[in-house]
Amino acid sequence: MVAGLTPKLHYHTTLNLFYKKVFYIWPKFQTIENLFAYTATASELVPLLIALFCYRDIRNEKPLLLIPVYSALFFSSNVIDASGLITSLEYRKFFYGLVTFFEYALFSLFFYQTLGSARARRIILLFSALFLAFLSVHISMVRMERIDSIPIGVETLLILFYACYFLFEQLNDQTVLFVYSKYQFWVTIGCMLYLSGSFFVYIFANQIPRTELLKYWFVIDIFLVVKNLCFTLALMLFINQRRKPPVSPFSTFKASY
């Protein structure tokens, strides 16, 4: 009898150890998820603070000034959203729609000011007008469950299109030797990584249970941090290039002798 009970006791002991490990690790995982959320929100402040301390260096670079504006706006929106001040579903739908509009407006304005093709800029204006009309209809007529997934999806596709065209334009520009030496490149990469990395989580946010959604939300936080790192790199790159003293051709001539 003892020999027959030993496997069962071993099974129950192993199972209990497994549950203890799971219940020990799960709170740790929840803590890590919270850490990702706090880090993502705090990372919005990094480009903003750098821009404030180095405002003299970037004040005349209009596309780059959009980065601290974006950071300030979305840090504020994240704080408002996390505070729970907006409880009504209708107000939340309007708030999320407003955030989506400003995100699209700032990103598209950056590419509008950066692209060299006049035809591409006209396309951005046309698509922006259509997106604004679509977003207005969606806010007024479509019922939102948790988040405005469809406008976010449309915004993502449009911004990725602008970003890909910018990279295509840079690759075909014979005057550009190293595209990664331009701050516009890093802003573009930050936009592309953030929007493409969070695309599917946003798209399926209204179609899966809330508990399942929360398991994957940390993916968005990771890509938010990556985006802000790219924006920070863009700012530091431009500031460093601006502060670097220009190389005189006479100094090169003297150095050769």
Q: How confident is the model at residue 93 (pLDDT cuts 50, 70, 90)?
A: confident
pLDDT of residue 30: 54
Is the model more confident about 31 or about 182? Answer: 182
Phi, psi for residue 245 in degrees, rounded to 5: -65, 140
What's residue 201's pLDDT? 86
The whole-number pLDDT of residue 178 equals 77
User: Which residues neighbour 110 within 8 Å (Cβ) at sequence distance 6 or greater?
Assistant: 63, 66, 187
Q: Please, what is the average pLDDT of the chain?
A: 80
Place of tokens 């739908």: 93
**Global pTM exceeds 0.85:** no
Would you call 203 exposed, middle or buried from its count of C-beta atoms within 10 A (0-12, 13-18, 19+)? middle
Q: How far apart are CA 227 and CA 46, in angstroms?
A: 11
* Residue 41 and residue 82 in contact, taking contact as beta carbons nearer than 8 Å: yes
